[in-house]
Amino acid sequence: MAWGWPLPPGALWVVLPWALPAPICCRPALPAAGRCRSGTVDDGSFSRSSSTSLTDLIFDARYLRPGTCIQYPASNILYTYLGTGRKFCTLCVRCTVNGFLGRIERISAPLVMVSHRSRLTHRVFRFGTRHGILGRRQPKGEYKMAIYLDSASVEDARRAAELGFVAGITTNPKLIARTGRAAEEIIPELCDVLGEGLVFYQLTAPTVEEREREAHRFAALRPGHVGLKIPCTTENLALLLRLAEDGLTCAATAVFSVHQALLACEAGADCIIPYVNRATRLLGDGLALVAEIAAVVEVTGGTSEVLAASFRSVSEVVGAVLAGADHVTVPLNLLLALGDHPLSEQAIAEFAQAGR
């Protein structure tokens, strides 16, 4: 991908955050955001950077509502703001208290992402019709997010399999230890319960040579149904590269930085697994990490997919998807909680009462 100038005619570019001075905030907007009327609208919520002529697509989120139609100044292109489902800061859609992502959809045209933190960058790249939320690399309509069960319990796996919408299972040494059984027994049984899909096993052997033998041994337990989680270190990524060349499904796990994700992409990882809640606790913002990893996969043209893990709430799960995670893996309690809401239960009770 070429960087910098000149821009191709008619190309739509989005500025990514990292290098320029902060943009000048927009002028005060109307209290209520405008709606599309006669094909144009200007609700006054645009912001331009004084240091670049690139189209920032920075908006004052105080005055935007989901569904609002937006027209960039001096442009005939309309966009629809879809919102993030989270509280905004006072600067723009891209930035919230923890740097969360907003989303904008160009009407009858490619999806684009707004981006902003306290600074902007000269680095730009184009979003075409193949891109929606940052990091999704499949054509709109063909993309399918997958939900994985994060558990080594056969009982949990059986319950999740009964639900019918779980695509796979992820395990780790702690989860397997809780079962009190050997991994060689647990992994094949989980594969049998799941039927279709992958069961991920995390390598634990002390040396690279032993981990390589361990990888082939577990992959042979259920060929085509066992994925390998490999903790992200430089030597482990070199191992991942060899295993990927052998045709094994490999995920780089325990990824806590963008530079780790960059090398994992180059190594050919099928999945990159960031720990959302743990990153929030230790680094301050797990959702921003997901967004940045998704961005680096996009920029490099990598084929790796972001499988977000380590959740403590349903809001974190939804936040990770909106931040660009291709897939999520959740424990059974969160999997069940995703489909429930107290108001739904209340409505069901009211309908049942009315039907008597």
Give tens-digit pLDDT for 303-349.
899 999 999 999 999 999 999 999 999 999 999 999 988 898 889 88
Annotated catalytic, 229? yes
- Burial class from Cβ neighbours inside 10 Å (0-12, 13-18, 19+) for residue 204 reads middle
Catalytic residue chosen out of the listed positions 87, 140, 144, 229 = 229
Q: Tens of pLDDT along 248-303?
A: 999 999 999 999 999 999 999 999 999 999 999 999 999 999 999 999 998 888 88
Query: Residue 60 — φ and ψ, nearest 5°?
Result: -85, 110
Q: Which CATH number fits domain 146-337: 1.10.3720.10, 2.170.190.11, 3.30.830.10, 3.20.20.70?
A: 3.20.20.70
Are the CB atoms for 18 and 123 separated by under 8 Å?
Answer: yes
Query: Tokens 């008597």 map to which residue?
Result: 356
Q: What is the pLDDT of residues 342-351, one digit of tens each?
A: 898 889 888 8
Please give the span between the terminal C-alpha atoms of the chain, in angstroms, as a whole number: 64
Alpha-carbon gap, residue 134 to 122, rounded angstroms: 18
Domain ranges, ordered by start, for the chain = 1-129, 146-337
Closest CA to 190 of 237, 147, 226: 226
